[in-house]
Amino acid sequence: MRCVLSGKQAALFYAEHEGKPFYGRLTSFMTSGPIDCYVLAREDAVHKWRALMGPTKSMVAQFSNPESFRGRFGISDTRNATHGSGESSCLIYQNVRLYKRKMG
């Protein structure tokens, strides 16, 4: 699903980071244009996706895992190309927040 996050949606989605130095840059970037959202479904999906993404910090990814999504496409710590939930419970919560409008 391609969508554009509103400021309110970005604030809800990244609420865990509110008050951190990068929060304003992150929410500003995430509302600056369309994003593609996917729900991955497979056994051990969170672990597999995190391995494909690579390290959170793009510079680290470029050297330690250059074939990862963040190693290939990340340009800064804020603009690191991908997002992935840390655990299944976060994934479900984040999906509900993003897809709520589409599901009714």
Q: Is the dihedral of CA 94, 45, 27, 4 positive or negative?
A: negative
Would you say 34 and 2 are in contact if contact means Cβ atoms under 8 Å apart?
yes
Q: Which two tokens stand for residue 46?
A: 């969170």
Catalytic residue among 17, 72, 83, 97: 83
Instruction: Mark whether 17 is an active-site residue.
Output: no
Alpha carbons within 13 A on the beta-carbon side of 34:
4
Could you list the active site residues? 83
